[in-house]
Amino acid sequence: MTLIVQKFGGSSVSDAASIKRVARRIAETRRQGHEVVVVVSAMGDTTDDLVDLAQQVSPQPPGREMDMLLTAGERISMALLAMAIHDNGFEARSYTGSQAGLLTDSTHGQARIINVTPGRIQQALDEGAVPIVAGFQGVSYESKDITTLGRGGSDTTAVALAAALDAGVCEIYTDVDGVFTADPRVVGRASKVPSLSYEEMLELAAVGAKVLHLRCVEYARRYEIPLHVRSTFSASEGTWVSSERNPGGHMEQPIISGVTADLNDAKITIIAVPDEPGVAASIFQALADAGVNIDMIVQNVSEADTRRTDVTFTCPKGDLGRAMQALLDAQERIAFASLASDEDVAKLSLVGAGMRSNPGVSATFFRALADSGVNVEMISTSEIRISVVTRTERAEDALRAVHTAFGLDADGEAVVYAGTGR
Ligand code: ADP
Ligand code: ASP
Ligand code: MG
């Protein structure tokens, strides 16, 4: 008998019929003799609808109240799912994140898990019941206020519980058949990847493959919890994410695991910065003090006669206002001429562990972009990733071109079973 944590995303529980389908699936797993802990997201687009509603009421809602509002979404789905499981002949009990022992820090909207004390969940299991836990929420161990883990955070709840309960596997049920070589909503010919290492999945999640929450993959790697990403709507095997890329297999690993386009970044250029030691330190200290997350950085070659240079970097769109203000506040000290910002950018990334040992990957990547007339504005690389910044309106074409150039196109169209992709 294995303990399995099963997480069902919003599109898996979007209406009464879907909730009943999920309940049957859980009952089936129980009938096969496994213990099951369920983590559930809010129904369909409930979380987005609540965010929209809050915006209509208040342009800058307090974080505490926002978290209280958003956690209501998961309370609805967990109770309904417990009812549907009862109708399948098993006892089920729903728990909020707080009741399930998810203790976090106090950062509303982006809380980090500090400890998991799943005593009530273990007790429910011991008594033969199916515990259903509300995803993406916890309680601050300091303030005792309700917190959320950030959008998409139910995946992280599931892995945190899997680690705390020593589960054999964490299954992430969603609206596609697994992790694909590109978002199947954008690249119809995306191929399902049978297995990925934590390292590859971390890079993919970090550069915008939203099928898994980044922190869920970090957590899974730390506690070595195997993840199985699969569809709620079909019985087919999904994608395994574990410490081995190709468990038990003998095939040479593919060079590329996937391509992504991330539209959540903005670009800032600091114009005519003095080209002397210490200036970059002042710039990035000012940004760090303002809590701005920096991604790519480029400095132009200084023109000999002016001894000034331009520094360009990207940061999340949500940090743009704070970044601009922090730089303006430090303008006199840093002595730059002016600032320019641009939200119309996309970050296109190519990820694959096989890149390390295969020459020619960059050449193929930039050739594909050039042939489809895509201009590259910034470049950054890691051992297993190349990212470029391009115009937003060219991002989808660029994604498809690169996908084709690396031979990743499948013979048929990928299936997207449900969801609005919001
Ligand atoms: P859930 O509500 O189940 O958590 P999400 O919307 O968070 O589902 O994640 C699933 C979606 O992730 C898919 O519908 C798909 O559009 C998107 N996606 C982005 N990149 C990928 C990828 N590389 N592989 C699979 N899905 C991806
Ligand atoms: N319901 C939350 C969201 O939409 C959490 C999740 O689905 O993972 O972000
Ligand atoms: Mg998700």
| Span 342-386, pLDDT tens digits | 999 999 999 998 888 888 899 999 999 999 999 999 999 988 999
Report whether residue 258 contacts ligand 1, using a CB cutoff of 6 Å: yes
Report whether residue 135 contacts ligand 2, using a CB cutoff of 6 Å: yes
- Report whether pLDDT(302) > 90: no
Give residue limits of the domains in the chain. 3-249
Candidate from 113, 136, 211, 420 with most ligand 2 atoms within 8 A of CB, to mutate: 136
- Report whether pLDDT(238) > 80: yes
Res 32: pLDDT: 95
Protein residues with C-beta less than 5 angstroms from the ion ligand 3: 9, 152
What residue owns the CA closest to ligand 2's atom 5?
Answer: 152
Atom of ligand 2 at shortest distance to CA of 74?
1
- Report whether pLDDT(259) > 60: yes
Q: What is the mean pLDDT of residues 399-410?
A: 94
Instruction: State the ligand closest to the CA atom of 154.
Output: 2
More confident residue, 420 or 81: 81
Q: What is the mean pLDDT of residues 285-296?
A: 93
What residue owns the CA closest to ligand 2's atom 9?
Answer: 151
Q: Could you give the dihedral angle defined by the CA atoms of residues 137, 138, 139 and 140, in that order, rounded to the nearest 10 degrees?
A: -100
Q: For the sheet containing 92-95, what is the strand order?
A: 92-95, 130-134, 35-40, 3-8, 169-174, 227-231, 239-242, 195-197
Report whether residue 209 contacts ligand 1, using a CB cutoff of 6 Å: yes
**Are 72 and 40 in contact, with CB atoms under 8 Å apart?**
no
Instruction: State percent of the chain over pLDDT 90.
Output: 87
d(CA 328, CA 339): 8
Candidate from 7, 155, 183, 239 with most ligand 1 atoms within 8 A of CB, to mutate: 183
Report whether residue 73 contacts ligand 2, using a CB cutoff of 6 Å: yes
What residue owns the CA closest to ligand 1's atom 1?
Answer: 9
Res 359: pLDDT: 83
Distance 59 CA to ligand 2 centre (A): 21
Res 413: pLDDT: 86
More confident residue, 421 or 185: 185
Q: For the sheet containing 308-316, what is the strand order?
A: 297-299, 308-316, 265-274, 338-342
Backbone angles phi, psi at 219, to 5 degrees: -65, -45
And the tokens for 152? 């998409």
List Cα–Cα distances, 178 to 7, 175, 182, 234, in angstroms: 14, 9, 11, 11
Candidate from 14, 43, 47 with most ligand 2 atoms within 8 A of CB, to mutate: 47
More confident residue, 419 or 284: 284
d(CA 333, CA 361): 42
Report whether residue 41 contacts ligand 1, using a CB cutoff of 6 Å: yes
| Span 49-102, pLDDT tens digits | 999 999 999 998 999 999 999 999 999 999 999 999 999 999 999 999 999 999
Taking the CB of residue 186, how many other CB atoms lie within 10 A of it? 16
d(CA 384, CA 254): 12
Report whether residue 42 contacts ligand 2, using a CB cutoff of 6 Å: yes
**Are 76 and 46 in contact, with CB atoms under 8 Å apart?**
yes
Residue type present at position 73:
G
> Which stretch of 58-62, 310-314, 415-419 has the lowest confidence by average pLDDT?
415-419
Atom of ligand 2 at shortest distance to CA of 151?
9
Atom of ligand 2 at shortest distance to CA of 153?
8
Compute the mean pLDDT over every residue in the chain, rounded to the nearest whole number: 93
Atom of ligand 2 at shortest distance to CA of 152?
8
- Report whether pLDDT(37) > 70: yes
Report whether residue 156 contacts ligand 1, using a CB cutoff of 6 Å: no
- Report whether pLDDT(323) > 60: yes
- Report whether pLDDT(281) > 90: yes
**Are 104 and 96 in contact, with CB atoms under 8 Å apart?**
no
Report whether residue 75 contacts ligand 2, using a CB cutoff of 6 Å: no
pLDDT tier at 300 (50, 70, 90 boundaries)? confident
| Span 140-154, pLDDT tens digits | 999 999 999 999 999
Q: What is the pTM of this model?
A: 0.92
> Which stretch of 222-226, 241-245, 386-390 has the lowest confidence by average pLDDT?
241-245
- Report whether pLDDT(244) > 90: no
Quick one: CATH architecture of 3-249?
3-Layer(aba) Sandwich (3.40)
pLDDT tier at 250 (50, 70, 90 boundaries)? very low
Backbone angles phi, psi at 96, to 5 degrees: -70, 170
Of the candidates 117, 116, 120, the residue with the CA atom closest to the CA atom of residue 94: 120
| Span 17-27, pLDDT tens digits | 999 999 999 99
Report whether residue 171 contacts ligand 1, using a CB cutoff of 6 Å: no
Of the candidates 224, 203, 205, the residue with the CA atom closest to the CA atom of residue 213: 205
